[in-house]
Amino acid sequence: MPTRKSQSSTVSKAKKSPRASSKTLSARGPLPPYGVAIRNAMARGDQREMRQVAAATRKWMREVQAALNAMEKSLSDLEG
């Protein structure tokens, strides 16, 4: 009669990616500059990461503000 394998032998172990560490989180690519990403960078205390998140957030805010301004202009053109 066959025996059951233990669960640990059937579960594959995920390979830990070097990109998964918190120190390289900003190196993964763009992070959405929302409060959690900003607070997490601050909590880790990595000045380089905080500067990168701050710069990305400022860039994102400029792009969003430009899009908002364009939309408001479009609305005023349609209304007036």
pLDDT tens per residue, range 13-39: 444 444 444 444 556 666 566 788 889
pLDDT, greater one: 53 or 27: 53
Q: pTM of the entire structure? A: 0.55
Query: Are 66 and 46 within 8 A, CB to CB?
Result: no
Query: Are 41 and 49 within 8 A, CB to CB?
Result: yes
**Residues 6 or more apart in contact with residue 44 via CB below 8 angstroms:** 22, 23
